[in-house]
Amino acid sequence: MRIDAVSRNWLTKKFGANVCFDEPMARHTSLRVGGPAEAFIAPNSFERLVELVEWSFKKKIPYVVVGHGTNLLVKDSGIKGLVIVLMDCLCTIERKEGEKEGVMVTAMAGARIQSLCSYALVNGLNGMNFALGIPGTVGGGIMMNAGTALGSMESVLKAIHVLQPWGAVKRVGIENLAFSYRGLSWKENQLSNGPSLSFIIDGSFLLHPSDPHELKKEAEKIQGARKKSQPFGRLSAGCFFKNPRTGKTAGELIELAGLKEISIGGAGVSPIHANFIINNGNATAADILALMETIQEKVLQTFNIYLEEEVKIIGS
């Protein structure tokens, strides 16, 4: 165990009811699976967050920052060290006036992506409708360069602020952000330890004034299409695999390989969208990982294409 009694006492004294020890991560992921986190902490202020990160860095206690657990698979063995969630301390959305090119909206990392989409719609700002229906928080969405066929974070994001493990905050502009399909990195010379220990605390998005009525009509159309094509109401982590760069989508390949609706233990492939692995109610993380590997092996054997997982897998 990396967290000794002295450290547990410090965490309890500092965070009180906002820290839980040996907390089942199944309570905090949309797949409803995952073993215990040694310490699960939800700081209630930015100052407390900085204090926690500085302390864990000095104590050499590992930490991982998670959002709403919607694109996350935690192994049954759980997570050593700290799990830090930002929804209580970094959840505001604000606009900055006076931008020549449009309206700059800053969303904190713990705010929900759907809250940012709603904010844009209510204020008649175009640019975020592509993200309607994407679950999770802004910080996770930025790190994953979340998107759909209609767009992605890189099309509207202009800058981020990053918290470094010694407590310093660094601004990283668009010129130093390297986007990829479902990924983001920043130039190493911007942060001395890279993104492994530093994490996003907010993002600034350049949006544009538009007709609120037309934006709402577009939003209703997008949301209606998503509801018809995805297994809403089921336990899943969204699209499980990244789409190949060219050719058919991951869902199409899985279906053509004859894998639609197969199951292992309590985990199954959705009959509505083959790129969704769902928890039928009694799945373990091991079931989901076994199904993932079965899909990857079959698709590779059939099409000579390796499906890379989009869902982030963590745990010891």
Instruction: Give the residue from 37, 68, 85 where a domain finishes.
Output: 85
- The answer on 44 and 23 residing in a single domain is yes
If one counts the domains in the chain, the total is: 3
- The answer on 189 and 101 residing in a single domain is yes
What does the pLDDT read at residue 252?
A: 97
- Of 89, 239, 255, 309, which is the active-site residue? 239
What does the pLDDT read at residue 48?
A: 97
- The answer on 103 and 63 residing in a single domain is no
What does the pLDDT read at residue 235?
A: 95
Judged by DSSP in three states, 170 sits in strand
**At 34, which CATH number?**
3.30.43.10
pLDDT in tens, 250-265: 999 999 999 998 999 9
- The answer on 194 and 283 residing in a single domain is no
Two tokens, residue 154: 């890189």
Q: What is the largest CA-CA distance in the chain?
A: 58
DSSP 309: B
- The answer on 108 and 203 residing in a single domain is yes
Instruction: Give the residue from 212, 229, 246 where a domain finishes.
Output: 229
- The answer on 208 and 304 residing in a single domain is no
What does the pLDDT read at residue 261?
A: 86
pLDDT in tens, 148-189: 888 999 999 999 999 999 999 999 999 999 999 888 987 654
* pLDDT, mean of each 10-residue run, the chain (316 residues): 90 97 97 97 97 96 93 96 96 85 94 97 96 94 92 95 94 93 74 65 96 94 88 92 93 96 96 96 97 98 97 92
Strand spans (E) along the chain: 19-24, 36-41, 63-66, 72-74, 79-85, 93-96, 103-108, 125-126, 147-148, 151-152, 157-163, 169-173, 177-180, 183-186, 199-209, 235-236, 263-264, 267-269, 277-279, 312-314
Q: Is 182 a catalytic residue?
A: yes
Helices (H), the chain: 5-15, 46-59, 113-122, 138-143, 212-229, 250-256, 285-303
- Residue-number span of the structural domain to which 179 is assigned: 93-229
- The answer on 195 and 280 residing in a single domain is no
Q: Is 27 a catalytic residue?
A: no
- The answer on 104 and 53 residing in a single domain is no
**At 217, which CATH number?**
3.30.465.10
What does the pLDDT read at residue 8?
A: 97
- The answer on 33 and 18 residing in a single domain is yes
Residue type at position 289: L
pTM: 0.92
- Of 182, 188, 252, 309, which is the active-site residue? 182
Q: Is 95 a catalytic residue?
A: no
- The answer on 291 and 168 residing in a single domain is no
What does the pLDDT read at residue 168?
A: 94
- The answer on 289 and 240 residing in a single domain is yes
Instruction: Give the residue from 229, 254, 270 where a domain finishes.
Output: 229
- The answer on 220 and 174 residing in a single domain is yes
**At 247, which CATH number?**
3.90.78.10
